[in-house]
Structure 1
Amino acid sequence: MPSLLRSEAQTRADLVSVDHTHVVLDLTGAGDHFRSTTTITFSGRPGSSTFVDFKGAELLGATLNGSELDPDSWTDGRLPLPKLAAQNTLVLVGLMAYSSDGEGLHRHVDPADHQTYLYAMSFLDAAPRWFGCFDQPDLKSSYTFDITAPADWTVLGNGPSERVGEGRWRITPSRPLSSYYVTLVAGPYASLYDQHDGIPLGIHVRASLAESLAAEAADIFHVTKASFDYFHRVFGVRYPFGEYHQAFVPDFNAGAMENPGCVTFRDSYIFRAAATTSERGTRAGTIAHEMAHMWFGDLVTMRWWDDLWLNESFAEYMSHRACTESTDYPLWVEFGILRKDWGSVADQAPSTHPVAGNGSADAQSALNDFDGISYAKGAAVLRQLVGYLGDETFFAGLNAYFTEHAFGNAEFADLISAWTRAGARDLGRWAASWLQTAGLDTLTAVPDLQQIRIARVPPRQAPADRTHAISVAGLDSTGAELFRTPVLVSGAETTIALPAPAYVVVPDAGDETWAKIRFGAEGWSRVGPLLPGIADDATRVVVYNSIRDGVRNAELAPAEALQIILESVPSEPHDIVVRDLLTFAQTELAGPYCPPAIRASRRRAVHQTAREILDGSGPGSDRQLAAFRIAVRSSDDPQLLRDWLASRQLPPKLSLDPELTWSLVSRLSLLTGEEALIDEALRADPSAAAHTHAARARASLPTEQAKAAAFELLMRPSEASAYTVYATARGFFEPSQSDLTAPYVDRYFAEIVDTAKFRTGWALGRAALLSFPFSAADESTLKLAEETLRNDDLAAPLRRSLVDGTDELRRAVTSLLKFG
């Protein structure tokens, strides 16, 4: 189906204004389809023509102003609407298909109790898969939903849900909505309720997760309430959508979706096993992120997808501030070590793009730009902006923006105007250099006699004149900080006085800008060994990110990076940093950036470090749990894994839970090929999460039969859920099985193109990227990847995944050719 063009959206918005949309759904049938009737009242330009979006399985009937529309005219998800009147009534009756890919109206049957659960995901262009609509962000509508469903279900949506009869509900959102964040949640969900500051609150999960919800609800409610208080205070505009439900739903593709009044989250955030404080902090950040969208995106919605950053960058930035300033979860270390690394990889790929003003000729190209640039880079840039404007001007401008454009649509220029009226100056230049250009500058600070020279090198492909507000720190030979100096870096070189002789100078020591950081001629060999002695969290994160970036740019030998990481992480106090760096060491430094012949020895080194941390961790601590997980994943010792699986020789106060058990079963079956271990674990734990673990474990089995079955699932149509496909993709090209999977490298590139015939959107791109043969990092694989990209007929999500996968592969091959 063609993706909506921006030009088409502009034309339709000039012709049409939507008054009301009434959706009637019958969810009582037992088959794979449901009946959807949509009545849209709208004004139009008399005599003009347009189209409505409808992506059902069958169009059963359609009338415009009482006249039948030709069902044969419905093609490619569009139904033409000829000869509009000034006031129009459109009725669409369709048979719609439940989805299994997390988009449209998704249906999940919980293997734990065989109960059926539904939720709707309408982003980015999936709303027409469950009701007819004018599917573009600037054609907002008021809504009424009438739902027929089993009488014992919970039914939720974007407004209060009123039971109007046996098995019948009416949902009436209080405010106009864009189609992309319209939702429905229906099924025998387990629920807990509370209220705060006059706002009714609800949390909802599958019944099989009710016990886990009970254990997690207090923290979720606490973060929710604290975030509401924070946003009310800084924005000066109250939450405008009435009730606030948070539904943790199965098979969800993203982390969460900001549907007004009814946010949907992936249900892995309801921990069914032991979780660390940093994992709860990540969840807190997601809760605050989605709540920030109630203002950025829902109250004021971008007019078109090229301003997607007005949603995501702001929500990302404000969620980290909200959690750090108002909850028990300070998140700037998490932002630096996880989010900025993600965004940095995206901003150096061939698919990089500016934060704002990407054009987005159609909706699908906007979805392809929904990445670490829209989130992490945008948030980092906003952090720079706030440093320039100050909080008073920043929030005054936002208040004016929210007030002026409430329940409507806006563009970047509207926000710039609001800030300018609040007292900002020269924002056009700032926006041009930071938001409308791609790539990262490289900042290098070198002490030179009585001064420090800070060189700024813009990316060659997209030069820009950016000014960086940073701090520069000098360290002695133990890593102790000697001085910290604020500086504005502009032009090719900035020079400041050297406050004291320093062994190493770290630019952006507070991790406050968006740039690649380097340390002069001796580089990482000087700063790397200092990491255990660097007291400041942000400075360590800057150094660690520089190390990872140096590896990916073939500037730092992977073996040297591995040594630095393994020598420094035992003294690292933040578990999230330990986890992320050891994961990088195992999956990249002992994976694509390592010749196959020595991957096992590097993996053993990671395992030994994890065991060292494990042995030195407090019994029952988060650090112990994080280290144990890494030790399991990196172990090549079946007997050790068997002992742990039998609860023998476990670390003190650590007991096995379902997730740890699956980690052990997955690793042990990978090493031994014992599929019976997977079957036995599934009998003991029949949950949805267990089935996902089992799919990955089966794909990782070291047998020809297992690989053949997994490849068939990846490359052929099936009834398997998207989560099963993703898990299979993750387990297929296991770095330790390069000989076994070698025959499938050619087949991947030959057959992945045809998956666009039966997958679309998120599922198509995600499955392709997760199954990309990174572990086969050599010139022949790179040649196959480049040849595949010459195909002009690649579907957009597939092309984006192949572009990014090929770039990562090329970086690994370049490093191997240089360093071996």
Structure 2
Amino acid sequence: MPSLTHAEARERAKLITVRDTHVALDLMVGADPAGERDGEFGSVTTIDFDAVVDSATFLDFKGIRLNAVTLNGQRIDPAGWHDGRIALTGLQARNTVVVDGVMAYSSDGEGLHRHVDPADGNVYLYGMSFLDAAPRWFGCFDQPDLKSRYVLEVLAPEDWTVHGNGPSVRVGEETPRRQAQDTSSTGSGLSGAGLRWRIEPPEPLSTYFVTLVAGPYASLYTEHDGIRCGIHVRASLGEALQREADDIFTVTAQCFDYYHDIFGVRYPFGEYHQAFVPDFNAGAMENPGCVTFRDSFIYRSRATVAERASRAGVIAHEMAHQWFGDLVTMRWWDDLWLNESFAEYMAHRCATAATDYPLWTEFGIVRKAWGYAADQSDATHPVAGNGAADAATALQNFDGISYAKGAAVLRQLASYLGDEIFLGGLRHYFAEYAFGNAEFAELLAAWTEAGGVDLERWSKEWLLTAGVDTLAVRRLAGGDQELVRVAPVDRPADRSHSVEVGAFSAAGERLDSQRVIVGDLGVAVGRPSAAVAMIPDIQDETWAKIRFDAADWTSITGLVSKITDGATRVTIWNSLRDQVRDAETDPRAALSMITEQLGDEVEDVIASLLLRYAARDLAGSYAPVPQRADRLASVNRLASSMVAAAEPGSDRQLVAFRTVIGSSADVDRLDGWRRHADLPPGLDLDPELTWQLVTRICSLSDRPDVIAETLAADQSSAAAVNAARARAALPTAEAKAAAYRLLVEPSDTSAYELYATAEAMFGYSAEQVELTRDYAVSFFRDITRTADFRSGWALGRLPALAFPLAVTEHRVLTATEELLAASGTPAVIRRAVADEVDGLRRALASVDRFSG
């Protein structure tokens, strides 16, 4: 089906104004997990809209059968429906269109998703309308600037609960069941034995926000500042919800108070529900009044403080969207940064200021690193103004640039403007465009009216250019030093950086610091006589790669753990990773620095990230295959020493033990731990640790028996996903062939199981590389054909997750470049591969240079 283009959206917006949309859903068919025709449901949509008289347009409908369409009481020939669009002609000033159809439940996390929980056989539904999936469950004019008031009426089984974008009212009127073979609908579109629910959101919504959560969900409720709040999970996660609810409700309340205070606008969408749903593709979706999250955030196993902090950040992010995106919505997807960059920035600011989970260290070591990689790849793009030609293309720009780089840039802007102007402009923006749509220029105008100056220059420097500058300290003749900015050769740009430069002693003590602004000209930096290192950007404030004087770097590699400021350590560790990526530093030297310094790191989020980096990159793609086992063994020794040094039962012990599992080559020891033998004091096996052990055992030996045994004890949907990962990790030709078929051929396998299979298909060990090196080449031929039977999120995510980075060979790069050059490569797959190929090129360059 064609993706809506920006030109088509502009034209349709000139012709029509949508007033009211009524959606009636019959969910009785499909409520029985073993029932016939459980893959479909009835949907009747009635839309009232204004139009230019005698004009023509189209309505979006991606059902499986179209029963009837009427426009202003006149039937339209269903033959006018093709490619997901229904032609509407001869429009009047006021119009009513009724679309009666049969829709398909999805299994890919988009449209109206249907999940049968293997733990108890219950059916759970949720609606995911982003980015262009709304027409998969109701007819609509699907673009962000055609907002409408909505009413949803839902017929569902008596034991279900139903929630959506507004308060849900249980009508309770029972009607006779519709016969299974009757596919027609009349009136409201509801029939069958069950209970009716009515959901009426209090404010207009864009189509991509409309959601529905229906099923026998376990729920908890509270109220904060007059706002009714609910949390909803599958019944099988009810016990875990009891453990996690207090923290979620507390963070939610703290975020409401913070946002109300700084935005000056109360939350405008009535109730606030947070539904943690199965098989969810994203981390969460900001549907007004009913945010949906992936249900792995309801921890069924032990979670660290850092993991709860990450969840708090996601909660704060989605709540920020209630203002950025929901209250004021972009007109088209090329301004998606108005949603994501702001929500990312505000979430870290809010969580740090208002909750027990300060997040700026996490932003620097995790989120910024994600963005740096994206901004140095072939697929880089400006933060703003990317000119997304159609909706499908826009989806590919939801990346580390739109999130992390945009947030980092906004953090700089807020510091430059000061909160009086920064927040004052936002308040004006909310007041001016509330419940409507806006563009970047209108936000700049709001800041200018609040007192901001020179914003056009700032936006040109930071929002409309791509690439990462390098800030480097260099020595001059006579021993003086200066800080210089070097723009990327292939993406030159004029940018200014305001950073703090610190001087450090051999004991890691900060002796002095100075604030400098560096642009095209270098800036002198004073160096105390006792300093052994000058470190730029000690507060991790800007968006740049950091480089040091060579002698200073030698000192820094031995004192990073002595530096007390976490932001400065983040700057150093990010520089180390950049140096490895740029083939400036031997990965073996980087691994030595980590093994020598990481044991004293006090921030678990830094320790966890660098342990994963050492195992996956330094002992994986950046290592020649024959050297990987030895390098991984050094990671295992580091993690084991960290377990031994940690307090029993502490987060540090758990973080390190996870790496011990993933880096161990001792199958007998792993299997002993799986059977609860000789575990470190203070560690108890929970379901997720057990599955980590199973997956590692299976990657080292042909042990499908441990998968079956663990599945017998754990029949959850999470277990099914973990089992898929373990099966794909098995080191046999048969297992790899089966995993490969799942990736490149049609099947009814759930999206999460496909993602897990993709993650485990190409392993880093020599044995796994030997098994998969031929698949790593054929993958780029076969993956393009998946566009024939996949769409949306899964179409782009699978090539990214399965990208064979572990097979670091030039012939794999050649196959990748052939895919990118081929004229017939689907755009979504081309972009996903372009995002990943930079990592392969860099790993190859490093291995080629340092393989001696």
Q: CA separation in 2, counterparts of 1:146 and 1:329?
A: 40
Q: What's the CA shift for 1:746?
A: 2.5
Q: What's the CA shift for 1:791?
A: 1.2
1:446 corresponds to which residue?
474
Q: CA separation in 2, counterparts of 1:54 and 1:525?
A: 62
Q: CA separation in 1, counterparts of 2:581 and 2:114?
A: 40
Q: What's the CA shift for 1:750?
A: 1.9
Selected match of 2:816 from 785, 791, 796: 785
Selected match of 1:516 from 542, 545, 549: 545
Deviates more, 1:105-114 or 1:493-502: 493-502
1:200 corresponds to which residue?
228
Are 1:663 and 2:675 counterparts? Answer: no
1:502 corresponds to which residue?
531
2:293 corresponds to which residue?
265
2:20 corresponds to which residue?
20
Kindly, what percent of the aligned residue pairs are identical?
58
2:774 corresponds to which residue?
743
Q: CA separation in 2, counterparts of 1:36 and 1:501?
A: 74
Deviates more, 1:769-778 or 1:231-240: 769-778
Q: What's the CA shift for 1:747?
A: 2.0
Tell me if the contact between 2:534 and 2:552 (Cα under 8 Å) persists in the aligned partners.
Answer: no
For 2:25, the aligned partner's letter is L
Q: What's the CA shift for 1:520?
A: 2.4
Q: What's the CA shift for 1:567?
A: 1.1
Secondary structure of 2:690's partner?
Answer: helix
- Tell me the TM-score normalized by structure 1: 0.99
Selected match of 1:755 from 786, 790, 798: 786
Tell me if the contact between 2:219 and 2:233 (Cα under 8 Å) persists in the aligned partners.
Answer: yes
Q: What's the CA shift for 1:430?
A: 0.4
Secondary structure of 2:388's partner?
Answer: coil
Secondary structure of 2:7's partner?
Answer: helix
Tell me if the contact between 1:483 and 1:500 (Cα under 8 Å) persists in the aligned partners.
Answer: no
Tell me if the contact between 2:500 and 2:536 (Cα under 8 Å) persists in the aligned partners.
Answer: yes
Secondary structure of 1:417's partner?
Answer: helix
Q: CA separation in 2, counterparts of 1:70 and 1:549?
A: 60
Q: CA separation in 2, counterparts of 1:70 and 1:525?
A: 76
Selected match of 2:490 from 447, 461, 468: 461
Q: CA separation in 2, counterparts of 1:364 and 1:748?
A: 23
Are 1:284 and 2:312 counterparts? Answer: yes
2:563 corresponds to which residue?
534
For 1:171, the aligned partner's letter is I
The 5 A counterparts of 1:540-619 are 540-619=569-648
Tell me if the contact between 1:446 and 1:505 (Cα under 8 Å) persists in the aligned partners.
Answer: no
2:33 corresponds to which residue?
none
Q: What's the CA shift for 1:362?
A: 1.1
Deviates more, 1:7-16 or 1:487-496: 487-496
The 5 A counterparts of 1:293-332 are 293-332=321-360
- Deviation by residue 1:581-624 (Cα, 9 ceiling, x = unmatched): 01011111111111111111111110100000000000110101
What is the aligned residue count?
Answer: 820
1:117 corresponds to which residue?
124
Tell me if the contact between 1:447 and 1:498 (Cα under 8 Å) persists in the aligned partners.
Answer: no
Secondary structure of 1:735's partner?
Answer: coil
Tell me if the contact between 1:466 and 1:490 (Cα under 8 Å) persists in the aligned partners.
Answer: yes
Q: CA separation in 1, counterparts of 2:553 and 2:735?
A: 43
Q: CA separation in 1, counterparts of 2:70 and 2:482?
A: 71
Q: What's the CA shift for 1:642?
A: 1.8
Are 1:768 and 2:799 counterparts? Answer: yes
Are 1:408 and 2:408 counterparts? Answer: no
Q: CA separation in 1, counterparts of 2:531 and 2:460?
A: 36
2:669 corresponds to which residue?
640
2:182 corresponds to which residue?
none
Q: What's the CA shift for 1:195?
A: 0.4
Tell me if the contact between 2:591 and 2:614 (Cα under 8 Å) persists in the aligned partners.
Answer: yes
Tell me if the contact between 1:447 and 1:505 (Cα under 8 Å) persists in the aligned partners.
Answer: no
Tell me if the contact between 2:473 and 2:483 (Cα under 8 Å) persists in the aligned partners.
Answer: yes
Secondary structure of 2:727's partner?
Answer: helix
Secondary structure of 1:794's partner?
Answer: coil
- Deviation by residue 1:481-521 (Cα, 9 ceiling, x = unmatched): 11111111122312243355521111111000100111123
Q: What's the CA shift for 1:524?
A: 4.0
Q: What's the CA shift for 1:768?
A: 0.9
Q: What's the CA shift for 1:740?
A: 1.1
Q: Which runs of 5+ in 2 are unaligned?
A: 31-37, 175-194
Q: CA separation in 2, counterparts of 1:331 and 1:290?
A: 15
Secondary structure of 1:591's partner?
Answer: helix
Tell me if the contact between 2:112 and 2:125 (Cα under 8 Å) persists in the aligned partners.
Answer: yes
2:748 corresponds to which residue?
719
Are 1:361 and 2:382 counterparts? Answer: no
Tell me if the contact between 1:450 and 1:497 (Cα under 8 Å) persists in the aligned partners.
Answer: no
Q: CA separation in 1, counterparts of 2:365 and 2:553?
A: 18
Moved over 4 A (4+): 447-451
Q: CA separation in 1, counterparts of 2:530 and 2:439?
A: 49
Tell me if the contact between 1:586 and 1:606 (Cα under 8 Å) persists in the aligned partners.
Answer: yes
The 5 A counterparts of 1:357-396 are 357-396=385-424
Tell me if the contact between 1:762 and 1:797 (Cα under 8 Å) persists in the aligned partners.
Answer: no
Q: CA separation in 2, counterparts of 1:4 and 1:529?
A: 55
Are 1:7 and 2:7 counterparts? Answer: yes
Q: CA separation in 2, counterparts of 1:542 and 1:434?
A: 20
Q: What's the CA shift for 1:447?
A: 5.1
Tell me if the contact between 1:557 and 1:819 (Cα under 8 Å) persists in the aligned partners.
Answer: yes
For 1:619, the aligned partner's letter is P
For 1:791, the aligned partner's letter is A
For 1:493, the aligned partner's letter is G
The 5 A counterparts of 1:340-355 are 340-355=368-383
For 1:699, the aligned partner's letter is A
Q: CA separation in 2, counterparts of 1:500 and 1:140?
A: 64
1:630 corresponds to which residue?
659
Q: What's the CA shift for 1:98?
A: 0.6
Secondary structure of 2:171's partner?
Answer: strand
Secondary structure of 1:42's partner?
Answer: strand
- Deviation by residue 1:214-267 (Cα, 9 ceiling, x = unmatched): 000000000000000000000010000000000000000000000000000000
1:29 corresponds to which residue?
29
1:471 corresponds to which residue?
500
- Deviation by residue 1:2-31 (Cα, 9 ceiling, x = unmatched): 111111111000000000000000011032
1:219 corresponds to which residue?
247
For 2:108, the aligned partner's letter is D
For 1:135, the aligned partner's letter is D
Q: CA separation in 2, counterparts of 1:119 and 1:500?
A: 64
For 2:26, the aligned partner's letter is D
Q: CA separation in 2, counterparts of 1:603 and 1:144?
A: 57
Tell me if the contact between 1:670 and 1:702 (Cα under 8 Å) persists in the aligned partners.
Answer: yes
Selected match of 1:69 from 64, 69, 76: 76
Q: What's the CA shift for 1:450?
A: 6.8
Tell me if the contact between 2:777 and 2:811 (Cα under 8 Å) persists in the aligned partners.
Answer: no
Q: CA separation in 2, counterparts of 1:552 and 1:537?
A: 23
2:187 corresponds to which residue?
none
Secondary structure of 1:590's partner?
Answer: helix
Q: What's the CA shift for 1:416?
A: 0.7
- Deviation by residue 1:161-210 (Cα, 9 ceiling, x = unmatched): 00112411000000000001110000100000000000000000000000
Tell me if the contact between 1:446 and 1:453 (Cα under 8 Å) persists in the aligned partners.
Answer: yes
- Deviation by residue 1:69-120 (Cα, 9 ceiling, x = unmatched): 2222212111111111101111111111111111111111001001000001
